[in-house]
Structure 1
Amino acid sequence: MYYLLYPVLLQGQSMYAVNYTFKDGLPSDEVYWIKEGSDGLLWVGCDKGLVSYDGVSFKKYKAPKARNKSITGIFEDSKGTIWCHNFAGQIYYIKQGELHLFEAFEAWEKAAKGNVIASLVLENDILRIESAFNIWLYDIATERLQKLGDKYFLLNNGNKIFLNGITAPYSEINEIKTPYYCPGCFFIPKSSRTRGHEPRMGFTKSQTLELLYVYNYFGRGWQSKKGRINEKGIKVPFIFLIQKDTLQALFFPPEIAVYGTNFIVNKVKIIDKNTLYLSTSEGLFIWNMKNNKVQHFFKGKVLSDSFFDSEGNLWLSSLGKGLFFVPRLALRVQDKLTKNKVIYQIETDQHGNVLMGYDDGSIIYWDPSENKVLLEKAFPIRKRIKNIIYNEKEDNYWITTEKKTHLFDPLKLEILPKRKLGPAICDMAFDNLGNVAAAMGHGANILANSDKIKLPESWKEKSSWESYQRQFKGGSSGYVVLVPGGNRTYSILFQSVPEYTIWVGTVSKLLYYSKGVPIEVKDKKGAKIIATCLEPMNDSTFWVGTLEDGLYCIQNRAVIKHIRIQRGISYNEIQELKINKNILWAVSTSGIIRYDLTTDSLTIWDNGNGLPSWNVFDIAFIGDKIYAATKEGLVSMPMDLEMNVAKPVMKMTQIMVNDSIYPIQSTYQLKSDENTLKIQFRGISFRSQNNFRYEYRLLGVEENWNNVSSASNIVNYPDLSPGNYTFQAVFVKADGSRSEPLNIAFLISAPFYAEWWFIILSTVFVILIISWFYKRQINKIKAQNEEKLERSRLERDIRISELKALKAQLNPHFMFNALNSIQDYIIQNERELASDYLGMFSDLMRLYLNHSQEGQLSLKEEINSLKLYLELEAIRMDGDFSYSIQMDGKIDAYEMEIPTMLVQPYVENAIKHGLFRKKGAKQIEIYFEQPDPSFILAIIRDNGIGRAAAEKHKKHQFNRHKSFATAANNSRLELLNYGRNSSIKAEIVDLEEFGIAKGTEVRISIPIKRESN
């Protein structure tokens, strides 16, 4: 343990800055020039080349044909092209993301006869190329190179101020050179050995100021009109104000003048008419010329350049230390108070001093007004201070460590242990009765601060008071247990309205004790409140910080307001609450929440708004400043610090279609095969410190936004279908602010065969082709049908002729047999029989003649002709022949039609070949049946000698003629069946009994065709 009891004066505050070095991706820590481009990029010239930074990563550009890698003199023309040069005098420019050597450089180098570029200036799209002795102008638009004389700078009124005037810069009007009046200007006069010259100077201007400044006065022999540089009483100015024909020397205040001539001014930036920022060999000086006050920052750093970007951030470049990024000028860091340790607890008192607790178990009592450490103490256990609570009533601090609780008297600077309280105290509260309430990791208790515990009489009326009394040991003050030791508590608070009340926040609920009885309070939806901290607003109202549910306001024991931050759960994880000047300050795990209780407005201070760290552990207030304990140290800032309200800007950086780079434009009309897109975009917010994200979508493909990190700024859409698409992207900062959507339209044309005109033409063409083909086929089919009809007609005529011929052959065959019978009757002189037979024969012939013209006749007509024919045969066979014709009752003989003379030839065959040679009774039976509705069956059965015996008789006939009827019947069936779906079939069956022929049966199947009326 050690004490430091005497005051120690600390060094001044430092400006909070982020240092980018080689470790962060910067190619080199030796930086000569920095500039913000119109595209938002930070351009850096260093000894490794040209570098750009987009707030996420550094990109180095390769310089072709480089004779030296170091880049300086970075400028931008009106078209957004970046120009620069290296120390070898080569000029480069950026085109399509690559560094190109200036095409006219070789011509300039030849004209300059080997002189090396000393500096490069770009103004009004005119490159001013300066060598040691001459100056050249190159018009970017006309590509014209022109040689001039001395080096000059262009003034706001259009006039030029020339250097190399030896005793002072000069102006030139109508070729008349007039030196500026400058008694404070130093120069080296011409001698017999050397030419005279003036110091190397720079130039800067604003709308109200125009300044020349001297980089340095190294070397000897400098003199002015008032004397030599080292003479006593001679002031050496570095900056001159240009006023008409006079250069007014501006002398540094003592804080800068102390460096004398061993001082280098690398850059001067005009902030306003009274303020200059000087980037020097001794750091950054902010010089208020009106009151001649100076602020000195970045001591010991050699700064080469500085500027403010569009967000208001200050950038500084250094030689050997990389880049410094200052997001908030108003932020100050008391880095001397940290000494490689972290402040976790900070509390102020009525004396305006601050007590801080550290991670190593030490404390520092600090006077911020004098910047003095009044007390420094390290406790034996080197673990962080758990809590520091200031008791305003007794003007003392309660300090809780890992093992003990201590009291600190700020007036006596004394520290005493407080034995009544144990370790691990999370919160404490003091009531008006002299009691102390402690929320601990093992419950919550009420203790007496100095005397015995004093509680209101209303608490003693409850039965619970007896249990409280049992915990008092003898006459000691003892303690009262509110929450038993097995329950962890976070916070505790006393209230006197509407009555004496103690509030306790535990790991599972928020309780208040009224008359000694605990009652739980929930929010308006009935949800539990896990209170990590409680901050009183007045006697009846207080605010609650929760574990992960934001803020609650409780008044008269009821929730009246709930504030939940919409940025994510980490912003609703409240670690500390404090009220100052009607402002509620809440420390979350992601930053500081500022809630104005009067205007009901809320702002967030976090890393994205320039706060040094997400990890803020505690806050305190001194005057109009808020102090924050962070990992980066103790940071102070004005309580009315304005947040950056500027919206981030999104820009398209590259469009690739089918792996080809296209110029950036708002609308693209693409061919059908140009359908693979690669889109690269960029949003820049240096203050966000890479803590932002992108949202993008391609309307026409997706409606929902895609969320990606700051590093994912390239998207691909392969093989898109024809149609209209709109790509949208937005930049979303950590505070939720969004850029305006970036909109790029793509129209991918359909292939020509999918265009409406092509579809219409194709449809018409196809219709015409189909119509032509259809018509051609119809004509072809029509011709074929006509040919078929003609062929069918001819075939039908042929068949009809053949049938008629067969009929004609059948009739003569029967006539031949009948006439033979008549002849026999006449020879036998049976005239009457011959006459009757001849009459019947003539009737039959008349029927045949009538039927011969018809292809079909009714079944009834067929049966009538059969009867007449069988009567003639019966007469011819002289009485031993009998016949019968029977018909199924289901058959309608009048409507049923069959081919003419279909059955008669089979009957004639049966008589001629089966019955004619049979001895004895001869019989023939004819049946017409209808076994199926689709056909009728004609059965002709005889009891003749059979087919086998008949065939033998044919063979033994001496003068046999050819039997015609059977062959004719078969041919006729073929002709009749031609073209029919159902054929007429004839089947001949031999009738036998024990192998002996008993006759023949013919079965004719005739498809039905009814006679039409």
Structure 2
Amino acid sequence: MQAQEPVFLHLTEKNGLPDKEFYSIVEDSKGFIWLAADKGLFKYDGKKFKQYTNQHQKGLSVFGVKQDEFNQIWCNNISGQFFYTKNNKLNLFIDLSSKLKGELADFAIGNHYLWVFSLSKVYQISLKSKEISTFLIGDKDLGNPFSDKKAIYFQSKDSVYRIDLGKSAKLHSLATHLPYRTKNNSAISQGKSIIFKQDSESFLVQSRMSKNIFFRFNISKNRFKKIKGLEAVADKRIYAIFSNNNEIWIGTNKGVWMYSYTNDKFQFKKQLFKEEDITRIVKDKDDNYWFTTLNSGIYIIPNINIEKSSILSENKNISSLDKVNDSTLIFGLTNGKIGVYDTKKNSSKIITLPTNDRVSSLIYHPSNKIIVSKDRSSYVVNIKNSKYTKVSDYQAVKSFLIDDNGNLVSTNYYSVKLVRESDIELDKNTLLTKRKIISTGKRTYTSLYDKQNKEVYVAYVDDLIVYDSVWNSKEIQYKNKPIYGKSITKTNDGTIWVATFKNGVLGIKNNTVLYHYNVHNGLTSNNIEKIKADKDILWIALENSIQSLNINTKQFKTLTKNEGVLSYDISGIEIVNDRIYFSSSEGLFSIDKEKSFKNYHPQVYFNQIQINEKDTSITSSYNLKFHQNSIKLGFNVNGLSYNTKGRYKYRLKGFNDKWFLTDAGENAVKYNSLPAGNFTFQVQPSLPSTSKASTIKEINIVINLPFWKTWWFITLIILFITIGIVLYFKSKMRKKERERVVELEKLSLEKEIIAINLTALRSQMNPHFIFNALNSIQDLVLKQDTEASYDSIVLFAELIRNALNYSNKDFIPIEKELRFLKVYLQLEKLRFGKEFTYDINYSENIEINVPSLLIQPFIENSLVHGLLHKSGNKILTINFKLMNEVLQCTIIDNGIGRVEAAKISKRQGNHHESYALGAIEKRLEIFKKQFNGNIGYSIEDLYEKNLSIGTKVVVLMPFKRQF
């Protein structure tokens, strides 16, 4: 009898394994897997492998990986170097190359010592001082050590020795009853012996005369007894012996040999990995079994209670499945064959039918017949003798069912038909009158016969129909919508369960949907392949897992490929005693109803912290600056299973107290721009509600406010603002004071201007000017030139009137100023006669206002001092022009010049001032202060060949634009 094999995973370099040649393996106290390999030491956290090396290491290969009482990992190499891990580094402890001389020694750690076992010596090395002591043993026959918490055991010659690990190490000889020499005095034992324990029993295996001999020894009685039952591995090279409950697993050059040990006997159970060199075997905290090999990577059995049946690869693609009895299953294959499988013997019989088209459905009939439907043919097969009869009425059937009377109901792509038991093997033509057509014209998917209520459920392409015992039909809907069924079953409580294509699982009673399960309340997917009831348990094959649902407690249990599920492409489910069988595209496999589901207690830890995209050492709390607010937190659960399917619950208290769930396989969360504040990041593995909640791990994060938001800075700013406001208002007060002073000065200036204007008026209206004007008018009257006299009087009156009107105004339109000057010059022309000519020009197109009565005194000076004493033509030119925001007035005369005028004035003793230059200068200074511009006047004597030809006066005055 060939036992079923457990489903295994095979890790190789193709899927990320860092090597293919492994010598040792251990799981540490935190759940990390450590591997000693040809390419070095590696640590596996469930997602990735990390290599550990040391710069003084001689070669990469390491061996004998072990963990000490301080949770440090130790290993050694063939060069005699011993290493340990600390602070996430591989450290060289000691180099014994001079003592071991190329011998690969085994070692143990205990009682604060490193114990090294060569072929003839045991070295005791203090872990603290590295002081070396030596135990000398007679011959070179030391075996591999076996250690527990109290002692280290090893074998030499015919004895087993014990090193007590108490306060002081003591060496004891436990037995001397093993023959170790042949008659010709040659050594019997070859190679190193191995000591192992099974429960409370102790065993020893020696290689004698190229054969492995097993002994059981009693420590208290110092007795050895040769035992039998392990003869199959007598000629095999034994690498490792692993005790698993009441079994012994022996790793050899021909795979793993599994033996049970009961009543002082070993009983062979099965052999795994028959062509592999299995160097070590380890069971991790999640009950995954690891098998390291010399040249084929690592094998892992994730669930020892999930097994695959021994079916040849060409017959593994199963398309349909049915149960005959508690020891027999039948199945149909895509290659057209059918099989009969013995669950007790794990053996199958394949029956070849004439055509090789796919078996679409089959069913066992109580008359020892198998009704087989293919895509294009159908057969009835006798299960006892494998003889078959071809029939023509069951092609492309989606499902069969048999009622209480043995009648056969078949559903296919077009119809639902009923055939009586006695007519099952009749030809189609005969059946035409003996079959009953239930429906036609509609594709079906599956069906179910409810024995209790004598009802038939049929899932059509567009609805779900229930038929009573006389085939009256009724449609069942959910929320007034059709139900698209894919698989139907019934539990003991009378609930009909329908698996849908994309809407989960529906539970129906009295033709009403009472239960609905989907991804929101327990399912891993809404797409269901098959369902099967086992009393009150519902087995559900989904697109991404296999689940069981206890309909009473409403609790789910889940299995995935990483826990040993062979395939998700499930074509059938059958219950046989304590096992559930699944047919799939990868063959037939089964799971133990109770033992297959593991009780996980995953413990999460933080494995990465990044702040602003940079890795940071992991601590329990962080105090960060305001700009250090991009934070990535990585976390992990050690082990093979969790990280491939597990999810994590997390939240950031202080930011959002709501729990969130990561996607499967995701184990990091990033916050790109956190605000300032106090936060606590919490994370824990997300487990089914039936599992015990895992411990929450947390990290405290403080992100400080930017300095401009801190209380001291805000206080400082308020202080500055207060001071600023005070200073501002003081400045405003000073400004107002200055404005008041300016206003007073302005009033003073205005008073002064008025006084100057009055002075100017008095100067312009001096008696000499009035006398000359009146004499000129008198002359005209005496000459009886009435018209000219009248004109002169009018001009004089206009001049006096305008002088009086303009004298109290600062600015007047330029056209009025020009008119005033023209009137003045016309009167002066009466005095000077025809020899006097003048020209006044303003060619700008801009209308402006100019200071009143400012130019007339300059013209009067030109007339009195320059032109009066000149003989011949007297010419006066006056030009106004805008330049750089000032008005320029240029007065040019062709008079005698200032030098000659001064001489005449001195001779005549004439001190007449036609205009008070002090007053006009004062007025221009006031304008300069008011308008802050280039305002003033200049006088230039004009010469030609050193002869005076006149005077040029340039006056720069302000102006205002007219709007």
Aligned to 2:310: 335
Q: What residue is the counterpart of 1:118 in the other structure?
A: 105
1:44 to 35, 46, 60: 35
1:492 partnered with 2:439: no
* Partners of 1:732 and 1:205 in 2: CA distance: 38
Q: Which residue matches 2:542?
A: 588
- Root-mean-square deviation (Å): 6.2
- In the other structure, the counterpart of 1:401 is 374
The equivalent residue for 2:416 is 444
Structure 1 equivalent of residue 81 of structure 2: 90
Tell me, yes or no, if structure 1 residue 523 matches structure 2 residue 478.
Answer: yes
The structure 2 residue matched to 1:534, chosen from 488, 496, 513, is 488
The aligned counterpart of 2:217 is: 240
**Whole-angstrom CA distance in 1 between matches of 2:748 and 2:94:** 101
Q: CA deviation at 1:545?
A: 1.9
Q: CA, structure 1 residues 607+552, in 2 after alignment: closer, same or farther (shift >3 Å)?
A: same
Change (3 A) 1:618 1:977: same
| Residue 180 (structure 1) aligned to one of 167, 174, 177 | 174
> Structure 2: how far apart are the matches of 1:143 and 1:190?
44
| Correspondence for 1:668 among 619, 622, 645 | 622
Which residue is equivalent to 1:465? Answer: none
* 8 Å Cα contact 2:337/2:356 also seen in 1: yes
* TM-superposed deviation, 1:187: 2.8
Q: Is the contact between residue 456 and residue 466 of structure 2 (CA under 8 Å) also seen in structure 1?
A: yes
Is the contact made by 2:241 and 2:248 (CA closer than 8 Å) also made in structure 1?
yes
- Following TM superposition, by how much is the alpha carbon of 1:605 offset from its aligned partner in structure 2, in angstroms? 3.2
1:53-452 alignment runs, 5 A limit: 53-62=44-53, 64-94=55-85, 99-100=90-91, 102-105=92-95, 108-110=96-98, 112=99, 114=101, 116=103, 118-123=105-110, 126-141=113-128, 145-149=132-136, 158=150, 163-164=155-156, 166-169=158-161, 179-181=173-175, 183=177, 185-188=178-181, 200-203=192-195, 209=200, 211=202, 213-214=204-205, 216-218=207-209, 236-243=213-220, 246-249=221-224, 251-254=226-229, 256-257=230-231, 259-260=233-234, 262-272=235-245, 275-280=247-252, 283-290=256-263, 292-299=265-272, 300=274, 301-336=276-311, 341-350=316-325, 352-371=327-346, 373=348, 375-392=349-366, 394=367, 396-410=369-383, 413-421=386-394, 423-432=395-404, 435-450=407-422
Cα distance in 1, alignment partners of residues 357 and 634 from structure 2: 50
Query: Residues 217, 45 of structure 1: CA spacing in aligned structure 2 closer, same or farther, 3 A cutoff?
Result: farther
Distance change in 2, residues 1:45/1:239 (3 Å):
farther
Residue 934 of structure 2 is matched in structure 1 by: none
Q: Structure 2: how far apart are the matches of 1:540 and 1:156? A: 56
> In structure 2, the residue corresponding to 1:612 is in which secondary structure?
coil
Q: Residues 558-597 of structure 1: matches in 2 within 5 Å?
A: 558-566=512-520, 571-597=525-551
Corresponding residue number in structure 2 for 1:545:
499
Q: Is the contact made by 2:190 and 2:207 (CA closer than 8 Å) also made in structure 1?
A: no
Cα displacement string for residues 932-986 of structure 1 (whole angstroms, at most 9, x for unaligned residues): xx99999xxxxxxxx999x9999799x999999994389757756865789xxxx
The two structures have a TM-score, normalised by structure 2, of: 0.71
Contact 2:458 2:465 in 1 (8 A): yes
Q: Give 1:13's aligned amino acid.
A: Q
Q: For residue 238 of structure 1, give the secondary structure of its aligned residue in structure 2.
A: strand
- C-alpha distance in 1, partners of 2:431/2:600? 68
One-letter code aligned to 2:357? K
For 1:35, the aligned partner's letter is V
Structure 1: segments with no counterpart, 5+ residues: 1-9, 221-228, 230-235, 454-470, 822-869, 888-892, 919-933, 939-946, 983-1006, 1008-1013
Q: Following TM superposition, by how much is the alpha carbon of 1:725 offset from its aligned partner in structure 2, in angstroms?
A: 6.5
Amino acid at match of 2:116: I
Return 5+ residue gaps in structure 2 as ranges.
799-803, 811-816, 834-848, 854-861, 873-903, 932-958
AA aligned to 1:180 is L
Return the offset for 1:376. 3.1
**What is the alpha-carbon distance in structure 2 between the residues aligned to residue 952 and residue 97 of structure 1?**
113
Give the Cα–Cα distance (whole angstroms) in 2 for the partners of residues 911 and 565 of structure 1: 113
Q: How does 1:975-986 map to 2 (within 5 A)?
A: 979=926
Shift of 1:378: 0.8
TM-fit CA distance, 1:440: 0.5
1:550 positional shift = 1.9
SS at match of 1:298: strand
Establish whether residue 646 from structure 1 lines up as the match of residue 600 from structure 2.
yes
CA contact (8 A) 1:628 1:634 kept: yes
CA distance in 1, matches of 2:869, 2:631: 102
Query: What's 1:483 paired with?
Result: 440
**1:968 maps to 2:927:** no
2: CA distance between counterparts of 1:200 and 1:674?
59
User: For residue 127 of structure 1, what is the amino acid of its counterpart?
Assistant: L
Inter-CA distance 387–97: structure 2 relative to 1 (3 Å threshold):
farther
Could you say which residue in structure 1 is the equivalent of 2:857?
A: none
CA distance in 2, matches of 1:595, 1:371: 28
Residue by residue over 1:240-290, the C-alpha shift from the partner in whole angstroms, topping out at 9 and shown as x without a partner, is 3433xx344365442x14554x35543344445x55444345523243244
Match of 2:571 in 1: 617
Q: 1:503 to 1:631 in 2, by over 3 A?
A: closer
Once the two structures are TM-superposed, the CA of residue 312 in structure 1 deviates from its matched residue by 1.5
Give SS of 2:204's match: strand
Are 1:503 and 2:503 matched, yes or no?
A: no
For residues 609 and 467 of structure 2, the distance between their equivalents in structure 1, rounded to whole angstroms, comes to 67
Note the C-alpha offset of 1:623.
2.0
CA gap 1:558/1:361 in 2 versus in 1, 3 angstroms: same
Greater mean alpha carbon deviation, residues 299-308 or residues 81-90: 299-308
* Whole-Å separation in 1 of the counterparts to 2:42 and 2:769: 131
Which whole-Å deviations, capped at 9, do the CAs of 1:133-166 have from their partners, x for residues lacking one? 3333444455555555568969768566565475
Q: What is the rounded CA distance, in whole Å, between the counterparts of 1:598 and 1:789 in structure 2?
A: 100
Q: In the TM superposition, what whole-angstrom CA distance separates every residue of 1:274-326 from its partner, at most 9, and x where no partner exists?
A: 55444345523243244635343335354332222111122223344442212
Identity %: 19
User: What is the identity, as a one-letter code, of the residue corresponding to 1:126?
Assistant: Y
Distance (Å, rounded) in 2 between the aligned partners of 1:219 and 1:911: 153
1:425 Cα deviation after fit: 0.2
Q: How far apart are the structure 2 equivalents of 1:153 and 1:953?
A: 143
Inter-partner Cα distance in structure 2 for 1:310 and 1:969 = 118
Q: Which has the larger radius of gyration?
A: 1
Q: 1:363 to 1:250 in 2, by over 3 A?
A: farther
Assess, with a 3 A threshold, how the Cα gap between structure 1 residues 123 and 343 changes in structure 2: closer, same or farther.
farther
Give the C-alpha shift of residue 197 in structure 1.
8.5
- Whether the aligned pair in 2 keeps the contact of 1:679 and 1:714 (CA below 8 Å) is yes
Give, in whole Å, the separation in 1 of the partners of 2:429 and 2:472: 19
What is the DSSP-based 3-state SS (H/G/I as helix, E as strand, rest coil) of the residue aligned with 2:29?
A: coil
Contact 2:491 2:537 in 1 (8 A): no
Tell me: CA distance 1:288–1:769, structure 2 relative to 1, closer, same or farther (3 Å). same
Q: Which amino acid aligns with 1:603?
A: K
State the alpha-carbon separation in 2 of the partners of residues 814 and 794 from structure 1: 30
1:76-96 superposed Cα distances (whole Å, 9 cap, x missing partner): 245543221123322233456
Q: Measure how far apart 1:35 and its partner are.
A: 0.7
